[in-house]
Amino acid sequence: MPTLSALTSLLDDWYPPATADDWDAVGLVWGDPAQPVSKILLAVDPTQPVADEAAAWGADLVVVHHPLFLKGVHGFAATSPKGRTLSTLVAAGCALLTAHTNADQALGGVSESLALALGLSSPHPLVPGESPEVGTGRAGTVPATTLGAFAESVAAALPGTAAGIRVAGDLDRPVSSVALCGGAGDFLLDQVAAYDVYVTSDLRHHPASEFLENGGALIDIPHWAAEWTWLPVLARRLNDAVGDTVEVRVSEIVTDPWTLRL
């Protein structure tokens, strides 16, 4: 049975903390490096329901994408939502580790996982990093289709949410080249005009409108759903690395903040 320290080192090798953005907060949030780990729960968000699931299952480690504490704190009293979440994990003896922007760009990371889930062939970084396979976003090709049909396939490939997906552009537009970015990706709009469609989350009104005016097409997908596609990939990677010594579970709890669309 591996220790928390050994698993932290493994994840740090796959998703080096040094590659995270300067504003980010990644790595081990809480836990005794010497403690043995037999159960790992994977989730996008460190919310109270996820902490409750981890405690009920007897998880020794929760690995999440989004940080619990993005800014410095002086304590984690259970009088606040974040404090209650961490208090639940501490009481259960369950460690917490975050891989955020360091997992976004990595080989086998969030954007690559999304690209594979959506059926892109030979995905490669939109903005290359320091090595050939690492970088921001992904681009690739799909068999010739239309924007409307591709949007339907995107919806089918993602876990369901109340928010659903939004499509901007002529639904009969031919699509074969696709650019995407897991999470909020409107910062890449200036770099994806050459592709038939850009898939990302949290697109704002004015940047989206200007992109359409310049001949582009967009598919806006729920932030949680986009990044959830990384969890099964990470689960398989962990299983390959640690074998039968650790049980890995992907949380099915929908932590997308929207609960109803009218």
Q: Are 15 and 64 in contact (CB under 8 A)?
A: no
Closest by Cα among 8, 11, 4, 39 to 247 = 39
Interval 57-105: pLDDT, tens: 999 999 999 999 988 788 888 999 999 999 999 999 999 999 999 999 9
Per DSSP, helices labelled H in the chain are: 4-14, 48-57, 81-91, 101-104, 110-117, 147-157, 205-213, 223-228, 230-242
pLDDT tens digit at each of 262 positions of the chain:
899 999 999 999 999 999 999 999 999 999 999 999 999 999 999 999 999 999 999 999 999 999 999 887 888 889 999 999 999 999 999 999 999 999 999 999 999 999 999 999 999 999 998 889 899 999 999 999 999 999 999 999 999 999 999 999 999 999 999 999 999 999 999 999 999 999 999 999 999 999 999 999 999 999 999 999 999 999 999 999 998 899 999 999 999 999 999 9
Query: How many residues can be counted in the chain?
Result: 262
Structure tokens at 57: 């299952």
Amino acid identity of residue 190, one-letter, is: D
Stated pTM of the model: 0.94
Interval 107-134: pLDDT, tens: 999 999 999 999 999 999 999 988 898 9
Q: Which residues pair with 220 in a beta bridge?
A: 166, 200
Cα Dmax for the chain: 57
Strands 174-184 and 218-220: unpaired
Closest by Cα among 107, 133, 78 to 16 = 107
Give the 3-state secondary structure of residue 249. Answer: strand
Q: Are 221 and 158 in contact (CB under 8 A)?
A: yes
